[in-house]
Amino acid sequence: MAINGELKFRILIFAPFGKDAILIGEVLQKSGMLVQEVTDPAELSQCIRDGANAAIITEEALDEETINSLGECIASQPPWSDFPLIVLTGGGASTPGTEMAVRARAALGNLSLLERPVRPATLLSAVRTAVRARARQYEICEHLKELKQAHLSLQEANNRLESLVEQRTSALQKLSAHLMRAQDDERRRMARELHDGLGQSLAAAQINLGLIDMPNGSAGERFLGEARHLVGQAVADMRTLSYLLHPLCWRKLGFSRLCSGISMVFPNAVESR
């Protein structure tokens, strides 16, 4: 339904017989209302879809074709819309048109009956009430649009945030994997150092200590000296390895704290090692 410009402020008049359309139009125009006369049910339905404040219909125009056309138009309204229809009935006894309007009341939705002859003040009061109600409906429509736009903006912001979280999570996972690989590489290197350096020195010292008890005379002192040298080398290698396992610069940079933080974020990655 188009509701832009002056279309939504129109009062539609469907009174194809007699001078009702002219008289009603004059009364409403004198009160500053925008009036449009329509000539058939199809035009009336299309004008309602395009946007209007209310429609005034004489009971003579409410034949089966008009009621069916209006019923389809009313049924196709958006949820916020409840278009007001004002039907001018004949005075005195009920007419077939009046009876048809009453029976069609449910199908036509927001329908009011005014008995003729209608005083101008009564007509204006009914139309102004319908206009105020319709204006409120347009306000609800605009509010729904704003809510929809706000929801879309919130959804877009949420999508951007989720994307950012995924990127940061991926970056942290890559960093964690890199640190785990570096840790494995360092462990392998330390294992080689222990085996090739400290292990060899201690094995040689053990052999020399075993040779001291052999009857070689002064050779025992030589083996003991070599064993002392090898043990000293093993001690030096142990200090070097201890420093390499946790150097002072890492403590200053908070490297251990960083590793601990990553382990807390990705415990499974650490446990899987």
The string of pLDDT tens digits covering residues 255-265 is 555 555 555 55
Q: How far apart are CA 125 and CA 131, in angstroms?
A: 10
Strand extents, DSSP E, the chain? 10-14, 34-37, 54-58, 84-89, 110-115
- Return the closest-CA partner of residue 170 out of 270, 271, 265, 259: 265
Give the pLDDT confidence score for residue 273 in this predicted structure. 42
Residues 192 and 200: their CA atoms lie apart, in Å, by 11
What is d(CA 39, CA 15) in angstroms, rounded to the nearest whole number?
Answer: 8
Write out residues in the chain with pLDDT < 70, as ranges: 1-6, 91-106, 198, 211, 213-220, 242-273
Q: What pLDDT, in 10s, does the model give residues 158-177?
A: 999 999 999 999 999 999 88
Which tokens is 28 given? 């409403």
Which CATH architecture does the domain made up of 7-118 adopt? 3-Layer(aba) Sandwich (3.40)
CA distance 162 to 147: 22
By residue count, the chain amounts to 273
For the chain, domain boundaries: 7-118, 168-271
Alpha carbon distance 14, 88 (integer Å): 10
- Strand locations in 67-166 (E): 84-89, 110-115
The predicted structure's pLDDT at residue 270:
44
